[in-house]
Structure 1
Amino acid sequence: MYHGRRTAAAVLAGLASAPLLSGCLGLGGDPDAGTNGVAKLPARTIEQKAGAAARSAKAVRLTGTVVSNGQTYRLDMRLRADGGVGEVTTKGDTFQLLRVGDDLYLKAGADFYGSGDDKDSQDAAAKLSGKYVKVPPGDPAYRQFSGFTDKKVLLADLFVLDGTLDVGAHRKVGDTRTIELTGSKGGSLDVSLKGDPYPLRYQRAGNAGTLTLVDWGEDFTLAAPPRSDVVDYGRTVGASPVPTPSHK
């Protein structure tokens, strides 16, 4: 299993080095009629209320894209305070992440680990295919990957609007009416005008991606995978020099 250990290490080391992380409403009369009233508040107060609502929610589903250093990441994650589960896609590679408390698992197909030029590498990738690779807390990859499953970390990025904060247009995200917060140097955040003022859509400055947030407060169950589906590499996943993982 030595080559399998090297193969997993190559993928973890390579990916961990990558930096992370609707139209106007057009209603007549009072656009805030029947809403929660937050649109009439100062921009900074709306931001604070949206942040408080997001932090207090038990769970959320976050989907969309993030562009960083010219590389696009597609996320589909369900998050709660003690972990998360979902998929991340980048450079044509898709891997699943599951974190339950401090335990972080990565799952992917054989192609994700790279076929290699020798039979041992190919056999190792085949054995890892469909298995949950447990990422050791001491490995450099742990912090990067656990960030994708961390509600607090991911939501903190939503409230980064460059420049002076201002109240923008009344809009919609799906069927929900929103008020837009804008940064004078880029970026916008749509805040719900129905019920709790949850953030529903975040558009990063410079066309660097859009994230949509749904299912606020809809809790879900997190559970560790069966032991028979787990490959545990102990503390040595990234300890030895390994080749760079292949990408499509």
Structure 2
Amino acid sequence: MSAVCALAVAGTGLTGCSSEDPDAGTNGVGKLAPEKIQSRTRSAAAAVDTVRLSGSVVAGGTSYRLDMRLKSAGGTGSVTADGVTFHLLRVDDQLFLKADAAFWNHDDGSGKSGTASDEAAAGKLDGKYVKVPSGDPSYKKFSGFTDKDLLLGDLLTLHGKLGKDGYHERGGVRSVRVTGDGGSGGTLDVSLEGKPYPLRLVRAGDAGTLTFSAWGQDFTLEQPSKDETVDYGKELPES
């Protein structure tokens, strides 16, 4: 606080009168135009190998709740859709899905569950990793949730004219917020500390909210052991 400000505070009883520089001690991206901030955060996200992504995504009319750890070689974590949670694990090109019997023996919409043979098959899959054949529709549907570059490339884009919505804080980390069309095209909070990593994304059109953390924190990806795995063959049962 300056000497003039200190005298003013002492004479008036005010608690403070200085205006702190919001960019002091930061990585400086808050000073940039919003287009530059978006470009910097996309580059920072692409350059680092690992991240944790959690939150909700609406895709194809379905809302998915994600909690995934991602790296260039694959990813692992949980996905919840329609009240059912399953686990995904991808190591290189090998994708595995683990769920309970209820996931496999689903209600087909008629109000009736599966047949006795369906229930028996679901029981064998209960709690086991099922290797998803690359040609199965489920492979394309679910592998995207484990693909860091694909996910972030699609997600870290705001729509409409870019602007800034001031300085904020996410999880104790100072951030600057970038908006698309004043917020209707989404908002993205970018770290002002260290690398300008994305911290929180609110997608346009109520299409989900995601948080990003653990940037650069490595983790191990290993294929499940044989006794944890069921190889269902060329095509998975419908789920």
TM-score bracket, shorter-length normalisation: 0.7 to 0.9
Deviation at 1:43, TM superposition (A): 1.2
Asked if the contact 2:44–2:195 (Cα under 8 Å) also holds between the matched residues in 1, the reply is yes
Deviations along 1:161-215, one digit per CA (max 9) or x if unpaired, are: 1101122211111100000110014201110000000001000112221100000
Give the aligned partner of residue 209 of structure 2: 210
Deviation at 1:125, TM superposition (A): 0.8
Q: Percent identity?
A: 52
Give the aligned partner of residue 14 of structure 2: none
Give the aligned partner of residue 73 of structure 1: 64
State the one-letter code of the partner of 2:211.
T
1:47 pairs with 2:38:
yes
Give the aligned partner of residue 83 of structure 2: 92
What is the root-mean-square deviation of aligned Cα atoms in Å?
Answer: 1.6
Higher RCO, 1 or 2 (CA under 8 Å, sep at least 6)? 1
Structure 2: unaligned runs, 5 residues or longer: 1-17, 107-112
Q: Distance in 2 between matches of 1:59 and 1:117?
A: 40
Structure 1: unaligned runs, 5 residues or longer: 1-26
State the one-letter code of the partner of 2:40.
K
State the one-letter code of the partner of 1:181.
V
With over 3 angstroms needed to count, the CA separation of the structure-2 counterparts of 1:146 and 1:70, relative to structure 1, is closer
Give the aligned partner of residue 59 of structure 1: 50
Q: Distance in 1 between matches of 2:197 and 2:90?
A: 24
How many residues are matched? 214
Query: TM-score scaled to structure 2, two decimals?
Result: 0.85
Q: Distance in 2 between matches of 1:212 and 1:149?
A: 16
With over 3 angstroms needed to count, the CA separation of the structure-2 counterparts of 1:98 and 1:117, relative to structure 1, is closer
Q: Distance in 2 between matches of 1:112 and 1:41?
A: 48
Give the aligned partner of residue 220 of structure 1: 219
Q: Distance in 1 between matches of 2:194 and 2:185?
A: 27
Give the aligned partner of residue 185 of structure 2: 186
Q: Decide which structure has the larger Cα Rg and report it.
A: 2
State the one-letter code of the partner of 1:77.
M
Q: Distance in 2 between matches of 1:232 and 1:196?
A: 42
Q: Distance in 1 between matches of 2:224 and 2:130?
A: 10
Which aligned runs of 4 or more in structure 1 are off by greater than 6 angstroms?
A: none
1:142 pairs with 2:139:
yes
Asked if the contact 2:199–2:211 (Cα under 8 Å) also holds between the matched residues in 1, the reply is yes
